[in-house]
Each structure stands twice: as structure tokens, then as C-alpha cells.
């Protein structure tokens, strides 16, 4: 039940004064009806608020420990094989056409001078056989030595620096999303009641 204050009119007897003109003013009493207001508390049925619980999740970060995998490169001494090219000149036999000089005697027809006794000496020419030396270039295969470049690879070891990968586990602080349930009460109201009527 609820209570509230209301204003109500009630009939109560009251006394008032009036004046009547006579030889002298004589007061007299006149009974009249008046109204007065009083306040009182009245109890009546009312609709009360009902509350409904509503819940929802609130996200907040939760601290946790995570582990990460890191790759790092570390240095260590190692031996490395390298190939070095070594070249030198060597004599080799090659087969190719060569030119050489060859002398030979051959007979060729040629005019020669002879003397015949006449009244006068007149040179007479007749064909004869002459010999001469000529030079002829003949092409023939031969072998000779020429310098050529010969290379070979030799493995040479030298000290170097090598790198290898190493995996380590590193813990670190991380945050993950956690959920916290919070509830609030929401009032559910209906249609209010009409105000009470005034009584005369």
C-alpha cells in the first residue's frame, strides 16, 4: 500500500459578524455555514514498480603470461671451401697446314742464241732446252708446338664466419580479453492510476 497527501473540502459550522444600522451599532451573532480545508493522509491501492534484472558482459583486459618464439642468428667460426682457378701456359701439339720451301729444277723450252758464219754475222734464234731454279710453296700437314692456357680448379680452405639460426622461448606479459558479468535493475512501470476526485 502507498500513501499520499490530498486536499478535501468538509462542511463545518462557523461564526461570522455582520453589522446592522440602528440608532446605535449593536453587534449580533449570525449563524453561517463556512468551509475550511484540512489535509489528511489517505490510503489507496496503487501500482508499484517492478524491477527486472538485465545482465550483460563487460569486456576488460586480463593480464596473462605468454610465450613467444624468437629466431636469432648467432655467429660461430667455421671452415669454408672455396675454389681457386690456377692457370698456366703449356705447350701442345696442333695439326694444321704448314708452308715449307722446296727447290726443284725443271726443263722449260726457251730461245737460245747461236752463231752461223755468213757474209755477215746475223744472230739466229732457235728453240733449245734451258734449266732454271724456281721456288714453290707446297701446303703439307705438320705438327708444331704452340703455347695454350690451361686452367684447373683447386679447393682452398679458409677460415670464415658462418651463421646459424637458434630458436628460444621468451616469456612476456600479454593481455587477453576477459568478460565480467554485470547486472542492473531496470524499473518496469505500467499506466498510472487517475487522481482521486474532489469531494464537495
Q: Residue 124 has what pLDDT?
A: 60
Beta bridge partners of 186: 52
Q: Residue 121 has what pLDDT?
A: 57
Residues 6 and 198: beta-carbon distance below 8 Å = no
Whole-structure pTM value: 0.20
Overall size of the chain counted in residues: 200
Q: Residue 175 has what pLDDT?
A: 72
Q: Residue 176 has what pLDDT?
A: 73
pLDDT digits (tens, 9 = 90+) for 77-111: 777 777 778 778 777 777 666 666 777 777 766 66
Report, as ranges of residue numbers, the positions in the chain whose pLDDT lies below 50: 17
Distances in Å between the Cα of 73 and the Cα atoms of 38, 68, 70, 164, 182 are 96, 16, 10, 6, 49
Q: Residue 170 has what pLDDT?
A: 74
Beta bridge partners of 98: 140
User: H-type helices in the chain, by residue range?
Assistant: none
Q: Residue 22 has what pLDDT?
A: 53
Q: How many whole angstroms separate alpha carbon 17 and alpha carbon 66?
A: 97
CA angle (114, 131, 108) in 5-degree steps: 85
Amino acid at each position: 500500500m502507498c500513501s499520499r497527501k490530498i486536499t478535501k473540502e468538509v462542511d463545518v459550522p462557523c461564526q461570522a459578524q455582520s453589522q446592522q444600522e440602528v440608532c446605535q451599532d449593536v453587534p449580533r451573532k449570525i449563524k453561517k455555514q463556512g468551509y475550511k480545508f484540512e489535509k489528511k493522509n489517505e490510503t489507496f491501492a496503487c501500482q508499484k514498480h517492478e524491477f527486472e534484472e538485465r545482465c550483460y558482459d563487460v569486456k576488460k583486459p586480463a593480464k596473462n603470461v605468454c610465450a613467444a618464439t624468437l629466431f636469432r642468428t648467432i655467429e660461430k667460426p667455421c671452415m669454408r671451401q672455396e675454389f681457386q682457378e690456377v692457370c698456366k701456359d703449356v705447350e701442345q701439339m696442333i695439326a694444321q697446314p704448314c708452308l715449307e720451301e722446296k727447290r726443284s729444277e725443271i726443263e722449260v723450252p726457251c730461245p737460245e742464241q747461236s752463231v752461223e758464219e755468213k757474209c755477215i754475222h746475223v744472230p739466229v734464234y732457235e728453240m733449245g732446252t734451258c734449266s732454271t731454279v724456281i721456288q714453290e710453296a707446297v701446303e703439307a700437314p705438320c705438327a708444331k708446338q704452340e703455347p695454350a692456357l690451361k686452367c684447373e680448379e683447386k679447393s682452398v680452405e679458409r677460415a670464415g664466419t658462418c651463421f646459424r639460426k637458434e630458436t628460444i622461448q621468451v616469456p612476456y606479459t600479454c593481455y587477453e580479453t576477459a568478460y565480467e558479468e554485470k547486472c542492473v535493475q531496470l524499473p518496469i512501470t505500467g499506466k498510472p492510476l487517475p487522481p482521486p476526485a474532489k469531494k464537495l
